[in-house]
Structure 1
């Protein structure tokens, strides 16, 4: 009964978040959350930095992924110290990779790519687990079961990437092709759920001039597919099918990354088959090899223990710190600016 409640809760929260995001975030109002004045110009106006909803929503996605990792790894009997070591090591590698890979592929220094970060994470995750197993953590040397840990990482990615698509809706990036450029049947089917972005500071406006135009809701499709995959993989994980959970989450998300690139209209690097699509194919092949190489481990899954393990100060403070760090890293806008003025309201004195 507890597992059923957990799965239903994941599904309900994911569905509600999707509906809110897709109906709200394309509007201009939902790109900048706040602006902080930094210096006063000669004309009396202040110049400041924008704090974006992209940063808030990205931090939310990371938080959801970490929370799910803590619960499921705890359910698999992995110690809190080992979990924290895995989370920190992966984030230290993957968060900078989200910018570095974009610089290499897209030749842009002020953008992020989840695809690049995931590719790096997929390659290093098995060896990060192996490294943690060789670090004395004071947990009596109990090793981390590699395949269950990788299954959790893949599930957490599916949810985190899915939730993170709402950040793209807010910023207007990773957008789909205009319906006018699609096959008539596709355009007709997609029209009721097509996205229309407003605001000249959204990427879809200044990069492609498609603000106010109906486009394929690629972000929403990705969100729906990834969270559904995450729910199915979580169910497999809770049943002890760790290899199936790992491969289901990895293969579906990465193959969709390959397919979805053909539906997108933003720049993804040179060539008809982009570097990100190649990364997706390589990740799938590599993941199948990893599942075979590290297969055979069997652990008992206790969801109650996983949930109980979250409710203590250490993981809660860690999650708060991660949220703040991700928000500051991704939420300080580098491609938009703010010009502000302040005045007194005489009637309220």
Structure 2
């Protein structure tokens, strides 16, 4: 019964978040959250723009981390080992999201979730082996590769889905204009589309599609990824670790490959993009891992959700999660492609 309430609650909250994002985030006002003065010039103060993109990315990262911790600790995996694992994965994935995007797209100030996932899946098995070897004396139980990878893939599905709200806010990762699509696509999305407004949206300054109806790729990705994450969570909590891992990775990576054909933002100069190749490699590598890991299902622990929630409700774990949010926002929230000037004055009638 606890598992049912948990999954239902996640589904309801996710649906509300996606509906709100679909309705509001394409508007101009939901891009710049705040401006911080940096230094004074003759034209006023030069400002640093802090974005809702950063807030929504940090929210997505944090939800993914919390879900990962809940699932993994429900299977009685060492909490201290999990924190080391999360720190290691983020230390690889956060810079990889910039480096891979810069290599593929030849642009500064851009990020890629696909590249970060590609790097994360490749490094995770090696990180598990390293942590088990180095921290074995202080961990209550070792990190089990299959359980850990299953929890990672489910958390990634949720992070991918909720992270697309950030893309809507910034106007990136956008779909093709409907009037440039084949008739079947135009008919399919005749009532379900996105319209972005504002000169600072990437869809405007990069492609000039301000105010046009475009294929809602971000919302489709968000709904499909979070729905897959819910299905994976259900499988995980019933002990089907291998199936949860394969289902979540297969659906998210196949859709990543397909969705590239519906996108209009620059993804490299080739018909089959580097990100599509990464998705296929990720899928193949994950499949080989899942099928190659020797596992005795009778030896794997059955998840206990209540134990996980109580284990995480401690001051140091709350601080750890808050630190994840702050680090994520610091990494993604500072806009490098927009600027601002700030002017201050005294309101004399109020003196």
- TM-score bracket for this pair, using the shorter chain length: over 0.9
Q: Report the Cα distance in structure 1 between the residues aligned to 2:152 and 2:171, rounded to whole angstroms.
A: 27
Which residue does the alignment assign to 1:192?
Answer: 191
SS at match of 1:193: coil
Q: Report the Cα distance in structure 2 between the residues aligned to 1:125 and 1:140, rounded to whole angstroms.
A: 18
Q: 1:90 and 1:140, CA in 2 relative to 1: closer, same or farther beyond 3 A?
A: closer
Q: Report the Cα distance in structure 2 between the residues aligned to 1:302 and 1:125, rounded to whole angstroms.
A: 24
Which residue does the alignment assign to 1:96?
Answer: 95
SS at match of 2:156: helix
Which residue does the alignment assign to 2:40?
Answer: 40
Which residue does the alignment assign to 1:300?
Answer: 302
Range moving further from structure 2, 124-133 or 3-12: 124-133
Q: Report the Cα distance in structure 2 between the residues aligned to 1:141 and 1:61, rounded to whole angstroms.
A: 29
Q: Deviations over 1:255-314 (max 9, x none)?
A: 100000000000011210000000111111111110012241422211111111110012
Q: Report the Cα distance in structure 2 between the residues aligned to 1:25 and 1:295, rounded to whole angstroms.
A: 46
SS at match of 1:22: helix
SS at match of 1:38: strand
Which residue does the alignment assign to 2:227?
Answer: 228
Q: Report the Cα distance in structure 1 between the residues aligned to 2:143 and 2:221, rounded to whole angstroms.
A: 31
Q: Report the Cα distance in structure 2 between the residues aligned to 1:141 and 1:185, rounded to whole angstroms.
A: 56
Q: Report the Cα distance in structure 1 between the residues aligned to 2:122 and 2:139, rounded to whole angstroms.
A: 28
1:47-66 equivalence runs, <5 A: 47-66=46-65
Q: Report the Cα distance in structure 2 between the residues aligned to 1:222 and 1:146, rounded to whole angstroms.
A: 27
Which residue does the alignment assign to 1:27?
Answer: 27
Which residue does the alignment assign to 2:349?
Answer: 347
Which residue does the alignment assign to 2:12?
Answer: 12
Q: Which runs of 5+ in 1 are unaligned?
A: none
Deviation at 1:140, TM superposition (A): 4.8
Q: Report the Cα distance in structure 1 between the residues aligned to 2:314 and 2:169, rounded to whole angstroms.
A: 33
Q: Report the Cα distance in structure 1 between the residues aligned to 2:64 and 2:134, rounded to whole angstroms.
A: 24
1:317 to 296, 300, 319: 319
* 8 A Cα contact 1:81 1:137, kept in partner: no
SS at match of 2:38: strand
* 8 A Cα contact 1:147 1:295, kept in partner: no
Normalising to structure 1: TM-score of the pair?
Answer: 0.97
Q: 1:138 and 1:207, CA in 2 relative to 1: closer, same or farther beyond 3 A?
A: same
Q: Deviations over 1:38-66 (max 9, x none)?
A: 112113x2111100001000000000000
Q: Report the Cα distance in structure 1 between the residues aligned to 2:72 and 2:132, rounded to whole angstroms.
A: 14
Which residue does the alignment assign to 1:73?
Answer: 72
Q: 1:343 and 1:10, CA in 2 relative to 1: closer, same or farther beyond 3 A?
A: same
* 8 A Cα contact 1:50 1:332, kept in partner: yes
SS at match of 1:150: helix
Q: Report the Cα distance in structure 2 between the residues aligned to 1:91 and 1:293, rounded to whole angstroms.
A: 26
* 8 A Cα contact 1:31 1:52, kept in partner: yes
Deviation at 1:348, TM superposition (A): 2.8
Q: Report the Cα distance in structure 2 between the residues aligned to 1:301 and 1:201, rounded to whole angstroms.
A: 46
Q: Which runs of 5+ in 2 are unaligned?
A: none
Which residue does the alignment assign to 1:212?
Answer: 211
Deviation at 1:78, TM superposition (A): 0.6
Q: Report the Cα distance in structure 1 between the residues aligned to 2:108 and 2:23, rounded to whole angstroms.
A: 30
* 8 A Cα contact 1:75 1:301, kept in partner: yes
1:66-145 equivalence runs, <5 A: 66-136=65-135, 138-140=137-139, 142-145=141-144
* 8 A Cα contact 2:246 2:290, kept in partner: yes
Q: Deviations over 1:12-46 (max 9, x none)?
A: 11101001111111000010000011112113x21
* 8 A Cα contact 1:179 1:214, kept in partner: yes
Deviation at 1:347, TM superposition (A): 3.1
Give the paired residue count. 348
SS at match of 2:26: coil
Normalising to structure 2: TM-score of the pair?
Answer: 0.97
SS at match of 2:270: coil
* 8 A Cα contact 1:55 1:331, kept in partner: yes
* 8 A Cα contact 2:80 2:139, kept in partner: no
